[in-house]
Chains A and B, each alone.
Chain A
Amino acid sequence: MARVLINLPRSAKRGELIEIRTLIQHGMETGYRPGPNGVTQQRDIIRSFTCLFDNEEVFHAELYQAIAANPFITFSMLATASGILAFTWTGDNGFAQTETRALTVT
């Protein structure tokens, strides 16, 4: 399991635009770089990131090799109700990880 950091406001007002910050530990090997033996290393990146709010998609991003190692993604979302946010990262070599956080809207 890769280490994950997710930062979201402890509580938000209804109708407020909140900022959700995520970071996941991953090397994001581009596939363009030679390894120690001189042979180009295979691509191994996180290809997509999805955030669901009560099972409805709020944010989805496709990542490419140009994303730096340990992908850091921040996005905005309108807080409308309390619910569960589910974050999913999927990538090469069967990489998949899901984390959930509760969002409290007052």
Chain B
Amino acid sequence: MSSHFSSPCVTSRRTAAAGLLAVALVRPARAAAQGTFERESLQQAILGFTGGVAPTRGRVTLDIPPLVENGNTVPVTIAVESPPGEAAQVRGIALFNEKNPQPNVITARFGPGARLGARLNPGHAMLATRIRLATSQTLVAVAAMSDGTYWSDSAEVIVTLAACVEF
């Protein structure tokens, strides 16, 4: 009888423990799933630009105001600087976003072809434009160098008035 009495207590404790465990297991799993879902298109866009190579952080400076009042025109400057002594030229610059309807913002290339590139395009390059942001999100700028390396920088922005909503 005593076992009958204790059993519900034990089971409830067990279920409580199981419940906690389930929460502990599900929470990170869901967070991870959400993270990969949101990042996937950004990540895929970046890998599509680099041809499957994960870019290294550095050499690129992504300059954007951290707090954006109007998402319809946000000034962005991307600068790439090679350390002195490096012969690689900047082949291209691309900017990607996390939460706009499309992951691409702008994809630029600087003087393709080794001959032209060497003549017209040094290891430093700059690109500036004005972009639209649908919501607060992360932006990633990637630079492609002539030696086949890819460099990146990211920035987080908070948007108070989103683009694409006004009539």
Spell out A's residues near B (CB within 8 Å).
Answer: 17, 19, 21, 30, 32-36, 53, 56-69, 71-78, 80
Contact = CB atoms under 8 A, between A and B. Distances in A.
Contacts of B131: 66-68
Given A64-B104, A66-B102, A75 B74 contact: no
Interface of A is mostly: strand
B119 A76 contact: no
27 contacts: A19-B126, A21-B128, A32-B101, A33-B167, A34-B167, A57-B112, A58-B110, A59-B108, A60-B109, A61-B106, A62-B104, A62-B106, A64-B102, A64-B106, A65-B100, A66-B100, A66-B106, A68-B131, A68-B163, A69-B72, A72-B128, A74-B126, A75-B108, A75-B125, A76-B124, A78-B121, A80-B120
The 10 closest A-B pairs by CB, nearest first: A74-B128, A61-B108, A76-B126, A68-B130, A66-B105, A68-B73, A64-B104, A62-B107, A72-B130, A66-B132
A58 B121 CA distance: 8
Interface residues of B, number: 36
Nearest to A72: B130
Given A36-B167, A68-B72, A76-B125, A30 B132 contact: yes
Nearest to A62: B107
Contacts of A17: 122, 124
A30 B131 CA distance: 12
Contacts of A74: 77, 126-129
